[in-house]
Amino acid sequence: MADKTAKSARPSSDMTAFRKEFAKAKSIVILTGAGVSAESGVPTFRGAGGFWRKWQAQTLATPEAFADNPSLVWEFYHYRREVMASKYPNKAHEAIAECERRLKPQNRKVTVITQNIDGLHKRAGSDSIIELHGNLFKTRCVKCKDVAVNNDSPICEALRDKGEPDPSAVDAKIPVENLPRCKISGCGGLLRPHVVWFGEALNTEVLDRAGEELDKCDLCLVVGTSSVVYPACMFAPNVASRGITVAEFNMEDTPVTNEFMYHFQGPAGEHLPAALAKCDTEK
């Protein structure tokens, strides 16, 4: 274990020491945020590129924005869905998925708890994933509440070629009856993206599942998140306060960096493959 006695001490960046702890861990939680997808070309929230037209995501990702202008909010999500068609998992997603596959026969568990809605962990092959903020490729009916996977492109005819991100683009003003509608017979309600918006609570079942994994983990990695959005920003500090080793992988310090045992500064696609590679002790 690295030498980090006081909470305020700088975390270690000793990869050899981290690897010794990784070799022994039986239940690993990997918490991820937008930074894990940055090397796939998916813009992060708080970096440059967080704008669509003249709005920040935080303005459109709200129940009020959807109630006020569902056409505009659907254009925004349609754009984000279409962008993902040209993006692929990167070395960080792949290292996580490979690690889960490799450790499973050793009765060692890897669980991804992600704030991302881009579906890239699944596409990389991870199986045990808890999506805290939902998924871009799922819809929820506002009337019957049915949740469905939807990979259609475009999601409805009226959105074809819409969603242009340029600030000069004109709002498509699609009539609500032409926006995505529920396919359950007799329903036909308006669909919304199955994502958690600002001002909305996280799904309690999802939170409970995350809590269970966090409670029993014996190693935690926190990757590519600014750690400023509740409740996810508290997960890793809470694990660290139990005396469990937490390693942060980020391009920069975050408000919680000094709570952790390790901090590996730099692109996740560079450090994670090294951190999660096969150990000599593995068969």
Which one, 49 or 167, has the nearer CB to ligand OAD?
A: 49
As a whole number of angstroms, the distance between CA 116 and CA 44 comes to 10
Asked if 33 is part of the footprint of ligand OAD (rule: CB under 6 A), the reply reads yes
Which one, 61 or 95, has the nearer CB to ligand OAD?
A: 61
Binding-residue pattern over the window 120 to 159 for ligand OAD, x denoting contact by CB under 6 A:
-------------x--------------------------
| Sole binder of ligand OAD in the list 27, 71, 126, 225 (CB under 6 A) | 225
As a whole number of angstroms, the distance between CA 101 and CA 282 comes to 13
Omega of the bond leading into 237 within 30 degrees of 0 (cis): no
| 58 assigned to a ligand binding site | no
As a whole number of angstroms, the distance between CA 99 and CA 101 comes to 5
What is the number of the residue whose Cβ is closest to ligand OAD? Answer: 35
8 Å CB contact between 265 and 251: yes
| Sole binder of ligand OAD in the list 251, 257, 258, 277 (CB under 6 A) | 251
Which one, 73 or 182, has the nearer CB to ligand OAD?
A: 73
Alpha carbons within 13 angstroms on the beta-carbon side of residue 163 total 23
CB-based burial label for 145 (10 Å; 0-12, 13-18, 19+): exposed
Asked if 12 is part of the footprint of ligand OAD (rule: CB under 6 A), the reply reads no
Going through the chain in order, the beta strands assigned E by DSSP cover: 27-32, 51-52, 55-56, 109-114, 129-131, 134-141, 147-149, 191-195, 219-223, 246-250, 262-265
Spatial neighbors of 93 by CB under 8 A, at least 6 apart, are 36, 37, 40, 120, 121, 123, 124, 126
| Sole binder of ligand OAD in the list 39, 82, 146, 164 (CB under 6 A) | 39
| 133 given a catalytic annotation | yes
Which one, 112 or 182, has the nearer CB to ligand OAD?
A: 112
Determine which one of 78, 93, 133, 263 is catalytic. 133
Annotated binding site for NAD(+): 33-52, 115-118, 224-226, 250-252, 268
Please identify every residue annotated as catalytic: 133
Residues that bind ligand OAD (CB under 6 A): 33-35, 38-39, 44-47, 58, 61, 115, 133, 196, 224-226, 229, 249-252, 254, 267-268
